[in-house]
């Protein structure tokens, strides 16, 4: 399905779309306030960009160093070429420990690899423990945002969902009550878990340690109680030194939710006494993206979600319309790298306003990369007939001034005089949900000439 088609499904509930739009804009606003309190914020972003660029240019060295140190720390390290191998490795570790009940904290990577269905097929219970993730898991939906997984759900929907699955009382969607019930329900799961899976926000090459950031404390509740902790990371999570965390942790929370830091920034190095710790390092298309000079900077991403919150298209089309694990502007440059055909409409789901690039804490040139994908896609994939023909016609008209003038005259007259039904006819998708302006009587050219004469 094209992005615009999927978006039109989300757009059926106008009230909900308006709420979604405003809620995310509010998060963007909180980000601004937090960022503006930091003297040298732009310098901090430059550092974030620079450190990531440096790291990618030495990626193999830092990965090797990280592995060496992690092994010294008594952590077992695994490597996975793709999602399948990642799933097999995790499954293998769980089997080895006879683990049947697993608690998982937020990890976009395990979403990307579709780990849950893989494990569930072998009767392993996997519980997502981040509240938003638990909500979408119960609803059998994927997350629609990388930081706010259930942002597309209204509280009344959560109410009904919890009544059905957790046996809660009807409460008109009272967030306090529902969160309290989820806390009780998930406490049970933490206490009885055989293994905990977490994501990784940063992996530090010179210590072999990993850092996991949460507000809820779910990653820690899982990892410190279960006998086995499996941390899954993409190869791009590496940073060279511990001191670089100073840069990234200052950027992450503020960009994500406007918090100055997340509640918990947990630094795991060695497994706790009597417990085991595994790290799975995953490629799954990342080295491929690294080979593309125009797009490799997309691997700088620290998954803060700011580009989604600010994007006028994302806010009004919802995360599910992107049909990819990472939605929004950054998803629209990552996804085509994985499957150009499936995701060929995503780089067009943008106004190219550049707001994403302005807020990105690691200064990824998101909107220019979107533009570059468009060039490639228009060349390589079949474009819809109407778009192709109209673009050709427009190109023709723009190339010849006399023709342009004539057509302009007709267009201006038509906009003033033709009935709306004809102007907003079916091929004109711009006319959907919006009116075109009335055509002015004279062209800019005429107006300009007249103005010069009068001067």
Q: Which of residues 125-154 bind other proteins (CB under 8 A)?
A: 129-132, 135, 148-151, 153-154
> Roughly how many angstroms between the first and final C-alpha of the chain, as a whole number?
55
Per CB under 6 A, 49 contacts ligand SF4? no
407-443 burial by CB neighbour count: b if 16+ within 10 A, else e?
A: bbeeebeeeeeeeeeebbeeeeeebeeeeeeebeeeb
Nearer to other proteins, 262 or 369 (CB): 262
Per CB under 8 A, 16 contacts other proteins? no
Give the range of 127-135, 152-160, 337-345, 362-370 binding ligand SF4 by CB under 6 A.
362-370
DSSP state of 170: P
Contacts of 290 (CB under 8 A, 6+ apart): 56, 59, 296, 299
Q: Give the containing element (helix H, strand E) for 298.
A: none
Question: Between residue 41 and residue 60, which ones bind other proteins under the rule CB under 8 A?
Answer: 43-44, 46-47, 50-51, 53-54, 56-60
Whether the CB-CB separation of 140 and 163 falls below 8 Å is answered with: no
Residue 303 binding result from ligand SF4, other proteins, none, given CB thresholds of 5 to 8 Å by partner type:
ligand SF4
> How far apart are the C-alpha atoms of 445 and 412, rounded to whole Å?
13
Q: Give the containing element (helix H, strand E) for 140.
A: none
Question: Between residue 235 and residue 294, which ones bind ligand SF4 under the rule CB under 6 A?
Answer: 255
Residue 54 C-beta: closest distance to ligand SF4, Å: 17
Question: Between residue 365 and residue 394, which ones bind other proteins under the rule CB under 8 A?
Answer: none
Per CB under 8 A, 63 contacts other proteins? yes
Q: Give the containing element (helix H, strand E) for 48.
A: helix 41-56
Question: Helix, strand, coil shares of the chain as percentages rounded to 5?
Answer: 55, 10, 35
Question: Between residue 252 and residue 281, which ones bind other proteins under the rule CB under 8 A?
Answer: 253, 257, 259-270, 272, 281
Give the range of 129-137, 337-345, 356-364, 440-448 binding ligand SF4 by CB under 6 A.
356-364
**Torsion sign over Cα 132, 134, 139, 143:** positive
DSSP state of 1: -
Within 10 A of 220 (CB to CB), how many other CB atoms are there?
18
Residue 43 C-beta: closest distance to ligand SF4, Å: 17
Per CB under 8 A, 243 contacts other proteins? yes
Give the range of 90-98, 123-131, 392-400, 417-425 binding other proteins by CB under 8 A.
123-131
> How far apart are the C-alpha atoms of 143 and 129, rounded to whole Å?
13
Residue 2 binding result from other proteins, ligand SF4, none, given CB thresholds of 5 to 8 Å by partner type:
none
Within 82-154, residue ranges assigned H as helices are 83-96, 108-112, 115-120, 131-138
Within 10 A of 329 (CB to CB), how many other CB atoms are there?
31
Residue from 24, 360, 370, 377 in contact with ligand SF4 (CB under 6 A): 360
Per CB under 6 A, 56 contacts ligand SF4? no
Residue 268 C-beta: closest distance to ligand SF4, Å: 22
Residue 131 binding result from ligand SF4, other proteins, none, given CB thresholds of 5 to 8 Å by partner type:
other proteins
Give the range of 79-87, 306-314, 332-340, 356-364 binding other proteins by CB under 8 A.
79-87
Residue 307 binding result from ligand SF4, other proteins, none, given CB thresholds of 5 to 8 Å by partner type:
ligand SF4
Residue from 5, 36, 95, 155 in contact with other proteins (CB under 8 A): 155
Question: Between residue 149 and residue 208, which ones bind ligand SF4 under the rule CB under 6 A?
Answer: none
277 has which bridge partners?
Answer: 229
Three-class SS state of 99: coil
Contacts of 316 (CB under 8 A, 6+ apart): 7, 11, 17, 20, 21
Residue 130 binding result from other proteins, ligand SF4, none, given CB thresholds of 5 to 8 Å by partner type:
other proteins
Residue 50, CB-side half-sphere exposure with 13 Å CA sphere: 8
Per CB under 6 A, 302 contacts ligand SF4? yes
Three-class SS state of 265: strand
Residue 150 binding result from ligand SF4, other proteins, none, given CB thresholds of 5 to 8 Å by partner type:
other proteins
Residue 264 C-beta: closest distance to other proteins, Å: 6
Site string for ligand SF4, 305-344 (x = CB under 6 A): xxx----------------------x--------------
Q: Which residues bind ligand SF4 (CB under 6 A)?
A: 255, 301-307, 330, 359-362, 364, 366
């Amino acid at each position: 399905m094209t992005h615009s088609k999927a978006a039109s499904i989300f757009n059926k509930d106008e009230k909900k779309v308006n709420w979604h739009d405003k809620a995310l804009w509010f998060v963007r606003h909180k980000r601004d306030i937090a960022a503006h309190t930091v003297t040298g914020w732009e310098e901090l972003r430059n550092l974030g960009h620079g450190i990531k660029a440096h790291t990618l240019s030495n990626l193999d060295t830092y990965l090797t160093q990280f592995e060496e140190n992690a092994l010294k720390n008594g952590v077992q390290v695994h490597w996975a070429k793709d999602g399948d191998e990642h799933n097999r490795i995790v499954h293998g570790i769980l089997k080895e420990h006879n683990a049947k009940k697993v608690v998982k904290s937020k990890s976009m990577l395990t979403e990307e690899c579709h780990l849950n269905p893989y494990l569930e097929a072998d009767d392993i219970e996997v519980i997502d423990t981040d509240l938003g993730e638990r909500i979408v898991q119960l609803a059998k939906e994927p997350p629609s945002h990388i930081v706010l997984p259930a942002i597309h759900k209204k509280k009344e929907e959560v109410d009904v969902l919890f009544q059905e699955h957790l046996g809660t009382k009807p409460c008109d969607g009272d967030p306090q009550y529902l969160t309290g019930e989820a806390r009780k329900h998930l406490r049970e799961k933490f206490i009885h878990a055989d293994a905990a899976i977490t994501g990784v926000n940063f992996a530090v090459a010179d210590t072999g340690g990993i850092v996991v950031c949460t507000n809820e404390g779910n990653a820690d509740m899982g990892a410190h109680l279960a006998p086995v902790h499996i941390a899954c990371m993409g190869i791009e999570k590496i940073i060279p030194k511990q001191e670089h965390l100073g840069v990234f942790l200052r950027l992450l929370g503020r960009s994500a939710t406007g918090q100055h830091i997340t509640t918990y920034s947990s630094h795991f190095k060695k497994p706790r006494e009597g417990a085991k710790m595994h790290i799975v390092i995953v490629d799954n298309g990342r080295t491929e993206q690294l080979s593309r000079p125009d797009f490799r900077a997309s691997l700088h991403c620290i998954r803060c979600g700011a580009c989604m919150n600010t994007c006028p298209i994302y806010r009004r089309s919802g995360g599910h319309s992107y049909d990819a694990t990472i939605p929004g502007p950054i998803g629209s440059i990552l996804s085509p790298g994985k499957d150009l055909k499936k995701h060929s409409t995503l780089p067009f789901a943008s106004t190219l306003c550049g707001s994403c690039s302005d807020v990105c804490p690691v200064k990824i040139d998101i909107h220019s990369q979107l533009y570059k994908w468009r060039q490639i896609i228009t060349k390589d994939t079949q474009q819809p007939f109407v778009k192709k023909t109209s673009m050709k016609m427009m190109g023709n008209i723009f190339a010849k001034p006399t023709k342009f003038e004539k057509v302009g005259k007709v267009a201006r007259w038509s906009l003033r005089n033709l009935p709306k039904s004809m102007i907003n006819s079916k091929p004109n998708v711009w006319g959907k949900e919006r009116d075109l302006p009335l055509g002015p009587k004279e062209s800019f050219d005429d107006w300009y000439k007249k103005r010069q004469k009068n001067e």
